[in-house]
Amino acid sequence: MKNITHNNIRVRNVVGAILLACFYFLPIVTSAQNVDLFKQQDEQDKKDAKETTDIVTSTFKTTRIVNSQSIENTGAGILDVKISHRFGLVNTGSYNFYGLDQATMRLGLDYGISNRLEVGIGRSTYNKEFDAFYKFRILRQSTGRAAMPISLSLSSDAVWRTIKDQPTVYAINSSDHFNFTNQLIIARKFGDYFSIQFVPTMVHYNIVPTKATPNDLYSVGTGFRIRLSKRVNFTGEYYYQVTKFQGTYDAMSLGFDIETGGHVFQFFFTNSTGINESSFITQTNSQWSNGGIHLGFNISRVFTVVKHNQ
């Protein structure tokens, strides 16, 4: 009995010594190995690819598709001066030089308060309207650890019509000159070559032409971008009106975005005369089917007001 215990202790001692030796050898083995940073870097890259979140940029090339707001915002501290120009209707014939004799326009200033919040003001020829809007990015499409399939923005636009009122039998209040547009912009970029967005829209008019016409008009906008080359994109938009004013048509535009260094030049055909949200969505009174379209272009020039360089 005594012998057995003694033997056991001996065995334990030997095992203990071996284990101890192993522990002491372990650091020697690891430290004697040459550190290879190149290998470490490659492993890190693989890990990073899984762990980092990559926010998708340039879903659209600029903050408007043609008339409509796109999902894009003006960068923080950037002032964007926009000149939007529409010639007359193509179907007015050779006497009007196919619309080129006439023009309506909107002058606008957009500013990025942060990378998520953009505000802007504008003045349009059509109905002599002033407008002011904000656009706030709620969700940003991303891949990687925090993957987000879509981008989402909220935008509201207020319009003040200043054209002289037609004579009416009822009194017109100053509040009657205002209308408001609220939009939710849902967008997704599919690779470098294709982006699409859907824009559920509500336009509220403080005054409408007839009692039967609702004050709130609902519509759904769509917009797309197809990349033709590094600098040229084919774009289009269409607003389907669920409820609408009598004698108006759905707005549709097709055109090209051309990137020229620091700015984007857009030229296109559209059946809308008005350029701010409520006028192009709900007051488009000409149609594509009989050539009631305008040739138009948007030019924008950006100025850095606040540098965001760290």
Of the candidates 132, 206, 124, 127, which has an alpha carbon nearest to the alpha carbon of residue 165? 127
Instruction: Give the three-state DSSP class for 64.
Output: strand
**Minimum Å distance from CB 58 to other proteins?**
5
The torsion angles phi and psi of 34, rounded to 5 degrees, stand at -75, 135
Give me the count of residues in the chain. 310
Question: Which residues are at the interface with other proteins (CB under 8 A)?
Answer: 16-17, 20-21, 24-25, 27-28, 31-32, 34-38, 40-41, 44-45, 48-49, 52, 54-58, 74-78, 112, 115, 192, 230-231, 259, 261-263, 302, 304, 307-310
Query: Which residues make Cβ contacts (< 8 Å) with residue 247, sequence separation at least 6?
Result: 285
**Minimum Å distance from CB 118 to other proteins?**
11
Please say which residue, 27 or 149, places its beta carbon nearer to other proteins: 27
Please say which residue, 77 or 200, places its beta carbon nearer to other proteins: 77
**Minimum Å distance from CB 29 to other proteins?**
9
Query: Which residues make Cβ contacts (< 8 Å) with residue 199, sequence separation at least 6?
Result: 68, 69, 183, 184, 185, 186, 220, 221, 222, 223, 239
Exposure string of 234-261, with b = 16+ CB inside 10 Å and e = fewer, is: ebbbebebeebbeebbbbbbbbebbeee
Instruction: Tell me the Ramachandran region of residue 98: left when phi exceeds 0, alpha when psi lies from -120 to 50, beta otherwise.
Output: left
**Minimum Å distance from CB 309 to other proteins?**
5
**Minimum Å distance from CB 120 to other proteins?**
16
Q: Note whether 205 and 217 are within 8 A (CB).
A: yes
**Minimum Å distance from CB 173 to other proteins?**
42
